[in-house]
Structure 1
Amino acid sequence: MEPAPAILVLEDGRTFRGHTYGAVGETFGEAVFSTGMTGYQETLTDPSYHRQVVVMTAPHVGNTGMNDDDPESSRIWVSGYVVRDPARLPSSWRSRRSLDDALRDQGVVGISGVDTRALTRHLRERGAMRVGISSVETDPDALRDRVLASSPMVGSDLAAEVTTPAPYVVPAVGEKRFTVAALDLGIKANTPRMLAERGVEVHVLPATASLDDIRAVGADGLFFSNGPGDPAATTSQVELLQGALAAGVPYFGICFGNQLFGRALGFGTYKLTYGHRGINQPVMDRTTGKVEVTAHNHGFAVDAPLDESTTTPFGEATVSHVCLNDDVVEGLELRDDAGALRAFSVQYHPEAAAGPHDAAYLFDRFTDLLEAAR
């Protein structure tokens, strides 16, 4: 039996018709597209996608089902899901349920049978925008009215909606070398895992943690995770980071943690037209000249000069990584007067699962920083 009809309406009025996929109902969020051909389970469970409706550019989605080993958090975070041709049956020995069933069980409203290539081209030309998906509304104009009444991503402070409610510890694997306080702004499970594999005991703290909380766990270093929302709407975490930098605490930040690092150093942030999302984005590490294929999910970026250093109250800041597609800032470094590294961050996801793994060396760079600070 063919699924019930569903509609997708963008805030500019562009309408697509398809079929119900996942839960029956109605949902709203920011329409963004992801260019990955695999790793959809990790994308769905990445808290960075909170309040976003993800359009998959790959035409065939769901063929390996959903398993119990690969989620990056305890739930699916996307607000909605858009696919062209969903798999009729999952085919993987690891699969425990179909993607359609997982979306339905967790109340995630999706739509299938959509011309995702046309939708992606529209978002590339017009920019990411608010969207509604409904399998209960048949009038596009009525749905668009509700889209226009929904909250935009600009100005949204969302870390508190995705952070852990209580601190927890991920023990070091093997001999413990360091203790790191990791601020959970939407952390993925693989991040503390990769730190732990390098002998780091990771104390994951809520987004509301203070500098005293950092000190209380005996942290040798501070880490800020990825996460959703507008970095310009976040203030307390920026103040925390500035206090840690002033105290000489080594720092490593990923994605949202890169944007907040930029703000702590005095740089602004801005919204990209349609952002970077997917597992195939080329980035150059300017410290080595190496080009990495990297995983991304960000709609905001740091506004920092690419080819000159900036004097800050904490040291000299430079852009360490840059996107080769559009010259967006993809990493920052902070060095002292003697040129020694004090703190750094990247805009992309070096902990990427299901990959790529080109940037895993950054966790080694962090442990080297911790060792040098000791």
Structure 2
Amino acid sequence: MSAPQEAILVLEDGRTFRGESYGATGTTIAEIVFATGMTGYQETITDPSYRGQIVVMTAPHIGNTGVNDEDFESRRVWVDGYVVREPSRVRSSWRANKSLDDLLTEQGVVGISGVDTRALTRHLRERGSMRAAISTEHSDVEALARLVNDAPTMEGANFLADVTTPEAYVVPAQGEKRYTVAAIDLGIKGMTPRRLAERGIEVHVLPATSTIEDVLAVAPDGVFMSNGPGDPSTADHVVGVLREVLDRKIPYFGICLGNQMLGRALGRGTYKLKYGHRGINQPVQDRTTGKVEITSQNHGFAVDAPLDGTFETPYGDAHVTHVGLNDQVVEGIALVDGPAFSVQYHPEAAAGPHDAAYLFDRFVELMDTHPSPHSSKVTA
């Protein structure tokens, strides 16, 4: 048996970790972030929101259930690099048809194992997310560090053209059809349309480049905007479409990047978090009910809005509906009297907790109480 190939991880501040190659060989440079989930690694790496990022798994043992064809959240693996402490030597699930190492290799994802991920995570918590490189090709740390520092940062990054669907498609309602929703794909996970379809919604998934005319052509009862990668300040076209939706009083629900789009459409700014929220154990309080839910999250930017009281928008007053309990970050906003709300986390939660599944029901209730003037029920 040949000796494992050496790999090196270099952060932009010069911190260096050495280990063994895991996945594809080569060199990758991207923002490095950590994810705290102890399960769901396949769903994590196939979440388009991780485009442009090297992901550090804080759980020490990764890969024990292998991978399968059913648990993909999108058409491919999106992480730009992968860091684990101890990869499983065998896959133990009867559902698995290949190992995680094999999948990363097939899809050209450069990774590293044997890294002290606890020390690395503590470093990122103290210093913040930053650029980094994983390489099996370069042994000169200083030269690799120069490449890292010459690479673009996440601020100003726009990956929507990479992750969105190239053409529209329909996910049919399960059981009796109740509503039609236009879902703008900013990096949508496969579980999201399924959660809507379970509630009798026919989901028309549209590309991120769609215009308001494309949205209205669906004759929607509501509009949904998904999670997605990159800097929300760059998505001006999407914000413009959402403002047209709000002008027409079509019920709106957004998650993750879709929450940041609503914040921007309402006139608020966004900002980059020090190290973001990534994992399936983030506590959030729903201020409309007082309940606390454990949520699945993956975001590095947040909406800048006052936590208390209301704030003025071109569409009437709005307020913060959900707050992260770890750091008091805005986790949800809504119009006080208008048909629009959004949350910063992932209520479809694959993998993860199901505390927030009620939000899909809340969207149905919004369409019940605020009929869209552009609905097929009206235009028929």
TM-score band, normalised by shorter chain: over 0.9
Aligned-pair CA distance for 1:335: 2.4
Task: Name the SS for the 1:320 alignment partner.
Answer: strand
Amino acid at match of 1:121: R
Aligned-pair CA distance for 1:234: 1.4
Task: Name the SS for the 1:103 alignment partner.
Answer: helix
Partners in 2 of 1:2 and 1:275 — Cα distance?
37
Partners in 1 of 2:317 and 2:197 — Cα distance?
30
Task: Name the SS for the 2:339 alignment partner.
Answer: strand
Aligned to 1:138: 139
Task: Name the SS for the 1:90 alignment partner.
Answer: coil
Aligned to 1:231: 232
Aligned to 1:69: 70
Name stretches of at least 5 consecutive residues in structure 1 with no aligned partner. Answer: none
The match for 2:365 among 363, 368, 372 is: 368
Aligned-pair CA distance for 1:2: 3.4
Task: Name the SS for the 2:242 alignment partner.
Answer: helix
* Mean Cα deviation higher: 311-320 or 96-105: 311-320
Aligned length: 370
Task: Name the SS for the 1:312 alignment partner.
Answer: coil
Identity across the alignment (%): 67
Partners in 1 of 2:122 and 2:364 — Cα distance?
42
Amino acid at match of 1:191: T
Structure 1 stretches of at least 4 aligned residues deviating more than 2 Å after TM superposition? none
Partners in 1 of 2:128 and 2:52 — Cα distance?
16
Query: Are positions 1:152 and 2:153 aligned together?
Result: yes
Aligned-pair CA distance for 1:259: 0.5
User: What are the equivalent positions in structure 2 for 1:291-310 lying under 5 Å apart?
Assistant: 291-310=292-311
Partners in 2 of 1:7 and 1:124 — Cα distance?
21
Aligned-pair CA distance for 1:354: 1.6
Aligned to 1:260: 261
Amino acid at match of 2:344: Q
Aligned to 1:210: 211
Partners in 1 of 2:132 and 2:237 — Cα distance?
30
Task: Name the SS for the 2:312 alignment partner.
Answer: strand
Deviation by residue 1:295-335 (Cα, 9 ceiling, x = unmatched): 00000000000001012111211000000000000000112
Partners in 1 of 2:130 and 2:26 — Cα distance?
20
Partners in 1 of 2:237 and 2:151 — Cα distance?
26
Aligned-pair CA distance for 1:235: 0.4
Task: Name the SS for the 1:315 alignment partner.
Answer: coil
Aligned to 1:344: 341
Aligned-pair CA distance for 1:142: 1.1
Aligned to 2:191: 190
Task: Name the SS for the 2:368 alignment partner.
Answer: helix
Aligned to 1:18: 19
Query: Are positions 1:358 and 2:355 aligned together?
Result: yes
Task: Name the SS for the 1:136 alignment partner.
Answer: coil
Aligned to 2:3: 2
Partners in 2 of 1:204 and 1:233 — Cα distance?
21
Amino acid at match of 1:343: A
Partners in 1 of 2:296 and 2:71 — Cα distance?
16
Query: Are positions 1:243 and 2:244 aligned together?
Result: yes
Amino acid at match of 1:360: A
* Mean Cα deviation higher: 201-210 or 309-318: 309-318
Amino acid at match of 1:268: G
